[in-house]
Amino acid sequence: MAKSQARKKATNRKRKPRPGGKRQVAARKTKAGAKTAARASSQKRKRATGAGRKRRLSARKSTVTSAVPSATRKNVPILRSTPPPEKPPRLLGDTKSTTAALSLLERVIKLIFAQDFKRARAEIKALLETYPAEKEILARARSYLRICNREEAVLHKSAVTGDQLYTFGIVEHNRGNYDSAISAFNQLLARQPDADYLYYALAASFALKGDVQQALANLRRAVGLNESNRVYAKNDPDFNSLHEHGEFADLVGVVLQEKGEAGQS
């Protein structure tokens, strides 16, 4: 009996709860629940944030899509990266022929700036025929050829007419500006190489200038083109300085007088 009572006391002694044990367990459970609740709330916030982001992205997409008209949405180009070229482009100046072609093109440019369009066109023609492989340079040369044609057309359009140039030469002749008159007559003679009146005008200007040989040469050409110029020159005071020359007398039919006969008369 005594032993059984002692065992009961020992068992009761073991099962006796420690003071404050239930409180600690409850506190632990409360902390664990708080942590679980905090985790759950953070996960909810993350999910809500993700959903909000998805909604904002979808809203932006819908805004961009709505900004493009529905009729042209299918035609919006898709940007793709351009692949690099298989061969790098050839740079100018990498061969001897390229250097020579560039030198010839520079000469063409200088001639255009000097308004020598005739020579510039000849140089461009030589460039096109000599360097057919230089396609970039030939493209530039063709553009300069168009410039030559345009500028020449402007010059011909605004050029002085033949009548204006002849009138200018006559005015300069009457003013005593014989060099200027001769220059005007020669310019017009380049357009009309068989005009007898131009050779006659040149002969008169050279005669008054004192250039006997040029005066006789041009007068001879004027008479050869038109016999009426003999009579005109015989009675023209511009040729008075040539009356003493036998060639002029033979050309126009003037009878030369001896100096003795001239003194007696």
Q: Is the pLDDT of residue 77 over 70?
A: no
Place of tokens 């059984």: 4
What lies within 8 Å, CB to CB, of 42 at 6+ separation is none
Q: What is the mean pLDDT of the segment spanning 71-90?
A: 53
Q: What confidence category does residue 47 fall into, taking pLDDT thresholds of 50, 70 and 90? A: low
So what's the pLDDT on residue 116? Answer: 86
Which carries the bigger pLDDT value, residue 205 or residue 71?
205
pLDDT confidence of residue 174: 93
DSSP string for the chain: -HHHHHHHHHHHHHHSPPTTHHHHHHHHHHHHHHHHHHHHHHHHHHHHHHHHHHHHHHHHHHHHHHHS-TTTGGGPPPP-PPPPPSSPPPPTTSSHHHHHHHHHHHHHHHHHHTT-HHHHHHHHHHHHHH-TT-HHHHHHHHHHHHHHHHHHHHHHHTPPPHHHHHHHHHHHHHHT-HHHHHHHHHHHHHH-TT-HHHHHHHHHHHHHHT-HHHHHHHHHHHHHH-THHHHHHHT-GGGGGGTT-HHHHHHHTPPPPPHHHHHH-
Mean pLDDT over the full length of the chain: 75
Instruction: Report CA Rg, the chain.
Output: 56
pLDDT value of position 196: 94
**What pLDDT score does 83 carry?**
59
What's the predicted TM-score (pTM) here?
0.41
Is 4's pLDDT higher than 80? no
Best mean pLDDT range from 36-50, 68-82, 123-137, 247-261: 123-137
Residue 17 has pLDDT above 70, yes or no: no
Q: Is the pLDDT assigned to residue 57 strictly greater than 70?
A: no
Confidence class of residue 46 from pLDDT cuts 50, 70 and 90? low
pLDDT of residue 48: 60
User: For 94-135, how does the pLDDT look when each residue is reduced to its tens digit (9 = 90+)?
Assistant: 567 888 888 888 988 888 888 888 888 888 888 888 888 888
Ranges 6-15, 153-162, 191-200, 243-252: which has the least confidence: 6-15
Query: Contact, 203 vs 193, CB < 8 A?
Result: no
**For residues 42-66, average pLDDT:** 60
Least-confidence region, from 6-15, 188-197, 248-257:
6-15
What pLDDT sits at residue 78? Answer: 53
- For residue 185, report the phi and psi dihedrals to the nearest 5 degrees: -65, -40
Q: Mean per-residue pLDDT for 71-100?
A: 58
Q: Residue 29: pLDDT above 90?
A: no
